[in-house]
Amino acid sequence: MNEGQNQAIPVDVVMCVDVTMSMAPVLNEIRKTILTFFDRFRLGFRETGFELGEARMKVIAFRDYGYDSEPLQESPFYTLPKQKSELRRFLDSLEAYGGVENYSGEAEPACALEAMSMAFKSEWTLYPLGRHRLVFVFTDAPAWRLWERAKYPGYPQAPGDLERLRDWWYIARQKEAGAFKHTVCCLLVLAPEIYPWNELQDWEECEVDFCPLGSLTPSFVRKTMDELFEL
């Protein structure tokens, strides 16, 4: 038996979800993905010889600081399955509205990078054996460059540019890591092949699955998550 096997390792997951108008057709599928995530993750985790310890999930919904009254909606971390009903209530409260579409009907940028900044600054679980930290991004649109929308009220703390955001991801992965052997950190992005998503492919521990611009479909989400869980 390998060292650490049969010990419980905590997992923190942050889901960053675009909830602008164009995401309405896929929002229910994303809700389902979030609510069933740990049930599927637990099964795969056991096959590695480890037990899933404390499982926590947080959701950050984003729109646009220039146009929407609620550009960011952040939940607390919910401990699952104990607080699954609270997580469900938060998800049910999310509505796809706002954002901007151009004259071609395509989605204009949203404040996804600001949501990622908040995700990377989360209060992560610290554990002496190891920890898993996963961040997901679901969007069908490009993103505003960091600080482009800073003139609007309530703009959050954010790094100066995409390269600094990459540094924040490095810090989130390394925080309290020390010499832990049983540590996994991953950033998974479902987004169109356009800025900034086409510049994330060389980030460490990051995977980007490209969808058509303005068309993140339920079937694409299901396919990507099935591949993640190797079903």
- pLDDT digit string, tens, across residues 25-49: 999 999 999 999 998 888 777 776 7
In angstroms, the CA 207 to CA 18 distance is 18
DSSP string, 8-27: EEEEEEEEEEE-SGGGHHHH
Which tokens is 157 given?
């703390």
Query: How high is the pLDDT of residue 151?
Result: 94
The count of C-alpha atoms lying within 13 angstroms of the C-alpha of 195, restricted to the half-sphere facing its C-beta, is 7
Q: Which of 12-26, 39-53, 71-85, 193-207 has the lowest mean pLDDT?
A: 39-53
Distance of CA 15 to the CA centre of its chain: 3
Query: How high is the pLDDT of residue 102?
Result: 47
CA distances from 156 to 55, 108, 129, 130 (A): 27, 20, 33, 30
Query: For 126, phi and psi rounded to 5 degrees?
Result: -110, 135
Tens of pLDDT, residue by residue over 145-201, are: 999 999 999 999 999 999 999 999 998 887 654 445 556 789 999 999 999 999 998
**Could you give all domains of the chain from N- to C-terminal order, each with its CATH number?**
8-228 (3.40.50.410)
Query: How high is the pLDDT of residue 126?
Result: 74
- Whether residue 210 is predicted with pLDDT greater than 80 in this model: the reply is yes
In angstroms, the CA 103 to CA 120 distance is 34
In angstroms, the CA 192 to CA 215 distance is 8
Can you say whether residue 6 is alpha, beta or left, with left for phi > 0 and alpha for psi between -120 and 50 degrees?
left
User: What mean pLDDT do residues 81-103 have?
Assistant: 87
Show Cβ contacts of residue 62 under 8 Å, excluding neighbours closer than 6 positions: 16, 17, 18, 19, 71, 72, 73, 110, 111, 112, 114, 115
Which tokens is 66 given?
């220039």
User: What mean pLDDT do residues 76-92 have?
Assistant: 97
In angstroms, the CA 149 to CA 172 distance is 24
Which tokens is 228 given?
């993640």
Tens of pLDDT, residue by residue over 108-149, are: 899 999 999 999 999 988 776 667 899 999 999 999 999 999
Q: What is the pTM of this model?
A: 0.91
Query: For 93, phi and psi rounded to 5 degrees?
Result: -80, -15
